[in-house]
A and B are shown apart, each in its own frame.
Chain A
Amino acid sequence: MTAKIESAHSAIGGSKQPAHNFAGAASNHYMESNLVIKNFGPITHVNLDLRNVNVFIGPQASGKSAIAKIYTIFKAPRKFFKIEASEDVVIENKKVFANALEEYNIASFLKTDTEIGFDSQLHEISYKNGTIRYTARLLKKIEELEGLAQNFEHNRERLLQNITELRRDFILFDIDIEELLPSVEDESILANFDKGTCLKIFEIIKETEEYLSVKTALYIPAERTLSNIIKKSSLNLQINNVPIPRHILSFGAELEKIDVQKLDLNFIQQGMYFENMSGEDRIYTGGGHSIKLAEAASGIQSVLPILLPVLAKKDVLSHQSFVIEEPELNLFPLAQYDLIQYLEASRSDSRWEDFGTIHTYTTHSPYILSALNNLLYAYKVMKTLSDSMINENINTPSAILDEIEIDFYKKIDSTISEIVKIRINPTSFSAYQIANGTAEPIFNRETGLIDENFIDDASDKINDDFDKLMELMK
């Protein structure tokens, strides 16, 4: 497993690039999906381009949490709608859809004219007029290839080409089949590629597809402090129909499964850490004192349910997705800044569908947005300085240039790392403000930073009122 992790990280840091998705279009350098919602709760019409880090802001009851919940459901439709693995599925049963919404306490948002569409490299799914339509794109592709394999000798080269493309889109699949089909470009590869090998490869990609299609995003709710308290009783509460929203109970159940024994909380308070002692969650402060988690400050109770699942999945070799509601809850501004850095440092940016992490945040906090801006800008600084250095040394022989580049990179990386813990690639980022039923992008792709937004408008309004009061003093 360690070798596999190293291999994956080496591939990610190296030159491997996903070239084409299985639909044939050029793929991007980030995981990409599109979500369209019409007439759902407070949402009139939103059309969202989602990437590896997504942020939604907006006034209360604007629908940003509803969007995050719909994204969670539609990302893993086979889990929520109990769809059998098949190419194209149509479910004409509004109740199936409503039940999935009930999991997240948003069933009452459903209207007769609700339309939702989600589109990713893995699948396409829509809901309209009580009907769910689902297309498993990757599965469809595999079935096409299985068809080609029926006439293997005639289609050998084409099959090999398609498998090569799949290897570029799914890094773990690439590693898994390395022994069956070494990824060297060699005439002998074509000669040794037989039908048996081909069919074994298809089985492996099918396993990958199955796994990804039921792999849900972990929804970390704003009510997560309650999850701390109820996690040991989640099952009993569900069985006894205690009226606590199911997604909160589910999250409590997820928290209960986590096996993180110790967690550094220095960024909240010097010397503080979490430790699970003989099954009891305790918070230790400097000086060896400890208290039960349930007795700890609200900020700690709010931040631990975010950190524990993220940390537990950090080195797991797979695709992960977290939806985090209001990470800023109960936290001092500097702690909010540190938390975002911690979370983003734990995230693997990825261009592959089967590896890497997606973070989706909903927030009201200018500190969270400013923190993200700093991490975005750190990436731009790194890139700009690196590009400048390369331009300045354009006539340097390549062997010497390689050394200069490595030294320069280490130096600038170290300098930037003293300021911020991690950098976010702007192409992996999207941000929207949700209000009045619609979504407006607030990310400026030219500057690579978050732009004018409602949270800034609130600061301006507060300052305007101060100015008006000052006028009265004249």
Chain B
Amino acid sequence: MTLQALKDIFGDCKRTDSLCKFKTSYETSNHPDFYIIDDRHGHPARISTDIADKHLSVTNETAKQINIVKLDCCLFHNTHHSKCDCLLFDDHKAFFVELKDTGNLAGRKTTRKKAIAQLKATIELLQQEKIDLSALVVEAVICFKAINDRSPRVSDSSRKEEFRSSYNVSLTEGNSISF
């Protein structure tokens, strides 16, 4: 999977009102530490190196090139099935990421269900377009903004197993990923 391969299939940003610094859904970073932020509702995820902004922390110790594709409200905009916020990948790993603001009145349970639906929709779309992820270790990450210790959720096991058996993808909930 490469950025170009994705571009050939899905094209580029579908917004006419993009406020992104780079008017494209496809970015790269080789910064050892950077952050993905869920800016505002209806806007795509943003990449930043400012720790004050952190929602999802990305550790890239060897400072290699990490590919970032902004999906929801960018590459896919106003589509019937909402997609997850972004995809980050290199030659070995891929992370489908859905960022959720915990200020959301709906609560974590409802928000998590929506996040899972968005992650599934994205993974299934890539599978339908025959994008080969088999060479990569793939993870689906639900990232709630508030970091706090959680008591065990029993049904996490069942969700994880569903993602593993259906997509060969690990489902996790957290605020950091690393390459």
* A interface, CB within 8 angstroms of B: 366-367, 369-370, 373-374, 377, 380, 444, 446-453, 455-464, 466-467, 470-471, 474
CA distance A444 to B154 in the complex (A): 12
Contacting residue for A463 out of B103, B148, B155, B157, CB 8 A: B148
B148 contacts which chain A residues (CB < 8 A)?
463, 466-467, 470
Contact status of A367 and B155, CB under 8 A, knowing A460-B108, A463-B108, A467-B108: no
B126-168 interface code vs A (CB 8 A; 1 in, 0 out) = 0000000000000000001010101111110110011001000
Among A448, A456, A470, the one with the most B-chain Cβ atoms within 10 Å of its Cβ is A456
A377 contacts which chain B residues (CB < 8 A)?
157, 161
B72-113 interface code vs A (CB 8 A; 1 in, 0 out) = 000000000000000000000000000000110001110010
Contacting residue for A449 out of B144, B150, B158, CB 8 A: B158
Q: How far is the CB of B125 from chain A (nearest CB, A)?
A: 22
CA distance A467 to B112 in the complex (A): 14
Q: A369-B154, A455-B154 are in contact. List 14 more A-B contacts (CB 8 A).
A: A366-B154, A370-B157, A377-B161, A444-B158, A446-B162, A447-B158, A447-B161, A449-B157, A450-B158, A453-B155, A457-B109, A462-B151, A463-B148, A471-B102
CA distance A471 to B145 in the complex (A): 11
Cβ of B103 and Cβ of A471 under 8 Å apart? yes
User: How many residue pairs at the A-B interface have CB separations less than 8 Å?
Assistant: 77
Cβ of A373 and Cβ of B154 under 8 Å apart? yes
Q: How far is the CB of B171 from chain A (nearest CB, A)?
A: 12
Q: How far is the CB of A57 from chain B (nearest CB, A)?
A: 9
Q: How far is the CB of B65 from chain A (nearest CB, A)?
A: 35
CA distance A341 to B3 in the complex (A): 48
Cβ of B103 and Cβ of A450 under 8 Å apart? no
CA distance A452 to B112 in the complex (A): 12
Cβ of A450 and Cβ of B146 under 8 Å apart? no
- Chain B, Cβ-Cβ closest to A448: B161
- Chain A, Cβ-Cβ closest to B107: A464
B154 contacts which chain A residues (CB < 8 A)?
366, 369-370, 373, 450, 453, 455-456
